[in-house]
Amino acid sequence: MRELEVGGKTVDEAIQIALEQLGVSEDRVEVIVLKKGRSGVLGVGAEEARIRVRLLPTGGEKADVIEMAKEVVSKLIESMGLTVNLSVPQPASGELPVILNIEGDDLGILIGRRGQTLASLQYIVRLIVAEKLKMWVPINIDVAGYKKRRYEFLQNLALRLADQVKKSRRLITLEPMPADERRVIHLTLADHPDVTTQSMGEGEARRVAILLKKH
Amino acid sequence: MKELIEYIAKSIVSAPEGVKVTEEADDKAVVVVKLEVAPDDKGRVIGRQGRVAEAMRTLLRVVATREGVRARLEIV
């Protein structure tokens, strides 16, 4: 079982950092607060918050999970009055997560601004499947390949901006992005020889900065 | 709109028989979807920091937009 201990200015910040490192959402982990932390007065007497997070177990037969996920997505979309096709772009056995691709016409409405509607849809599907199976299973939902394209775009963007940072020797901050997209940036540049990445800001405004590595 | 909220709520609460959803239009062409659940299940349909409620509202907005109305979800 994977465990991780992290620190941050506040408990919430520490949780965010841990989730980002694990690349999972909050419903996947158990959080144990080790130290609450104090902000102190003007930084005097400040104490870091420390938490331990533990990944909750996942499992089950993948084929069953796929069937369950398909059923939930179908019912959900049907109750929204939309007609779509579902495809599963992966074999029915092997590694999780389960990936479901929703296909059809005029699906922009299911993606929403910055993929927000899609994120809500995925969250609800995970919640319902977790309730039915009594355990958490990673399920990724895509609409007409939107996420796939977006991730590819972000990978290219990250590499391009890393180049700029290297040349200008200045830090570049990207626009605010959801957790999964920030993760793509972090992962793309994880092994980069010249730059490193860091997330800053809270909640909706959280964004990735690309900065020069200190040698 | 009712069907969507009813399906989600019934699937995530521990007492599905306690779920009641009503839909009514108020005077300003806003459809009010009222979700009622057993007291013990209220936390589940709201979620931590209102995350579940927020996700339901986002999906409700999709249906409302398609039907050309505005919708509001109330958890009572």
Task: Check CB contact of B74 with chain A, cutoff 8 Å.
Answer: no
- Do residues A114 and A155 share a domain? no
Question: How many domains does one find in chain A?
Answer: 3
Res A57: pLDDT: 60
pTM for this predicted structure: 0.74
| Binary contact (B58, A127; C-beta < 8 A) | no
Task: Check CB contact of B28 with chain A, cutoff 8 Å.
Answer: no
Domain boundary among A121, A144, A167: A144
Task: Supply the DSSP symbol for A209.
Answer: E
Identify which of B12, B59, B61 has the shortest CB distance to residue A128.
B12
Nearest CA-CA partner of A58 in A120, A166, A139, A138 = A138
Identify which of B3, B11, B58 has the shortest CB distance to residue A131.
B11
| Binary contact (A109, B66; C-beta < 8 A) | yes
CATH number of the domain residue A155 falls in? 3.30.1370.50
Separation CA B73–CA B30 (nearest Å): 10
- Do residues A87 and A106 share a domain? yes
ipTM for the assembly? 0.94
CATH number of the domain residue A15 falls in? 3.30.30
**C-beta atoms surrounding A180 within 10 Å:** 18
| Binary contact (A124, B54; C-beta < 8 A) | no
* End-to-end CA gap in chain B: 17
Please write the tens of the pLDDT for every residue from A88-119.
887 766 677 888 999 988 889 999 988 889 99
Question: Mean pLDDT of all residues in chain B?
Answer: 93
- Most A-contacting residue of B8, B49, B54 (CB-CB within 10 A), to test interface: B8
- Do residues A88 and A130 share a domain? yes
Residue A199 in tokens: 């997330």
Torsion of CA A80, A102, A120, A152, to 10 degrees: -150
Number of helices and strands in chain A (H, E): 6, 9
- Do residues A78 and A95 share a domain? yes
- Do residues A134 and A67 share a domain? yes
- Do residues A135 and A196 share a domain? no
Alpha-carbon gap: B27 to the closest alpha carbon of chain A (Å): 24
Task: Check CB contact of B25 with chain A, cutoff 8 Å.
Answer: no
Q: Which carries the bigger pLDDT value, residue A214 or residue B58? A: B58
- Do residues A79 and A136 share a domain? yes
Phi, psi of B10 (to 5 degrees): -65, -30
Please write the tens of the pLDDT for every residue from A37-82.
887 777 677 888 999 988 776 555 778 888 899 999 999 999 998 9
Identify the domain containing residue A34 by its residue range: 3-55
Give, for A122, the enclosing helix (H) or strand (E). helix A116-133
- Do residues A73 and A87 share a domain? yes
Domain boundary among A144, A168, A199: A144
Please write the tens of the pLDDT for every residue from A131-178.
988 888 889 999 999 999 999 999 999 999 999 999 999 999 999 998
Identify which of A26, A81, A124 has the shortest CB distance to residue B55.
A124
Give CA separation, A206 vs A50, A178, A183, in Å. 20, 8, 12
Alpha-carbon gap: A79 to the closest alpha carbon of chain B (Å): 5
- Do residues A34 and A84 share a domain? no
Identify which of A26, A81, A127 has the shortest CB distance to residue B66.
A81
Which are the contacts of A100, defined by CB distance < 8 A and separation ≥ 6?
A66, A69, A70, A73, A86, A87, A88, A139, A140, A141, A142
- Do residues A139 and A70 share a domain? yes
Residues of A in contact with B4 (CB under 8 A): 76, 79-80
Identify which of B3, B4, B62 has the shortest CB distance to residue A117.
B62
Separation CA A104–CA A78 (nearest Å): 13
Res A93: pLDDT: 67
Domain boundary among A55, A75, A95: A55
- Do residues A121 and A183 share a domain? no
Q: A67 with A53: CB under 8 angstroms? A: no
Separation CA A145–CA A140 (nearest Å): 12
Task: Check CB contact of B37 with chain A, cutoff 8 Å.
Answer: no
Alpha-carbon gap: A73 to the closest alpha carbon of chain B (Å): 11
Cβ-in-10-Å burial (0-12, 13-18, 19+) of A210 comes to buried
Residue B75 in tokens: 């958890």
CATH number of the domain residue A117 falls in? 3.30.300.20
- Do residues A7 and A46 share a domain? yes
Task: Identify the contact set of chain A against chain B, taking CB-CB distances under 8 A.
Answer: 26, 72, 75-76, 79-82, 109-110, 112, 116-117, 120-121, 123-124, 127-128, 131-132
Separation CA B7–CA A97 (nearest Å): 24
Separation CA B13–CA A115 (nearest Å): 27
